Amino acid sequence: MRLGLLGFGNIAVTLLERLSTAVELPLEHLSVLCLPEMVEDARDRLSRDFLAVSKTVLVGTDTRTLLSAKPDLVVECAGHGAVATHVPVLLRAGVDVILASVGALSDPDLDAVLRAAARQGGSRLILTTGAIGGVDLLSAIAAAGGLEVTYRGSKPPVAWQGTDAERVVDLKSVSQPTRFFAGTAREAAMAYPRNANVAATLALAGAGFDATRVELIADPQASGNVHEYAVTSPIARFSIRIENLPSKANAKTSVSTVYSILREIRNRVSPVAI
């Protein structure tokens, strides 16, 4: 397999650490696209910790370099800006892309560009379920219409540091669960791009960005990242609560997000997909 990584942060590194659970190593080739200031660090880390992952490795800073390696599949884990800059080019070139930054699709213009690029290139934009479950059922019953979906995301205050939540509450002094956001999935994804990918995934699978209701909570008692949602439709009603352990390197990201990406890679190469 020839795998490309768009980004070389916490998700990408953890993915490489766990890759052997999804595919047989070594890969035929691994390509990494990262920011110019991260190139040397990426090369050092790859040569030091991931020699067994791939027969050959290429680190670059532009989409053309990534495409020159002829990847079979690219995993995006670099944020909304990288989605807009690089993913349309990859899709138009016929390369399938697994999207971790699902919240980027809350921008209707970017959503339209990505869909058009995939049609033009005959490729697919694959949205991971990330840290949430039950998306298969939600997506299935959405065809019946009449959906009502409400989502509640609770994380420790430290996971909301560096976001707009700091303008609403004093995260350092929060002593009980405190709601700092209530609105639509579109508003949540645009205001909290690194924290609301789950809300975006539920919106895309179900009632849409503007009909999915979202609450975001800073909870000092939370041991991890808690995702809860309830669904009502003419044919089914269900609710789900998932408590995810946060990534050690980034409290904003649940560890299960990486395993969701691994599942997509495994389904890509396995004779049986589930």
Return the structure tokens found at 234.
């003419």
C-alpha dihedral over 84, 187, 199, 238, to 10 degrees?
-150
Return the structure tokens found at 87.
């993913």
SS3 of residue 64 by DSSP:
helix
Return the structure tokens found at 193.
């791009």
**Burial annotation 21-58 (CB, 10 A radius, 16+ → b, else e):** ebbeebbebbbbbbeeebbeebbebbeeebeebbeebb
Backbone angles phi and psi of 215, in degrees to 5: -125, 140
| Catalytic position from the list 29, 80, 86, 227 | 227
Question: Are 55 and 26 contacting, i.e. CB atoms less than 8 angstroms apart?
Answer: yes
Omega within 30 of 0 (cis) for the link into 26: yes
* Helix or strand (DSSP H, E) at 97: strand 96-99
Return the structure tokens found at 113.
């560009």
CB atoms within 10 A of CB 111: 15
Return the structure tokens found at 158.
């430290």
Integer-rounded Cα Rg, in Å, for the chain is: 19
227 is catalytic: yes
Angle at 112 (CA atoms; ends 184, 144), nearest 5 degrees: 60
Q: Catalytic residue numbers? A: 227
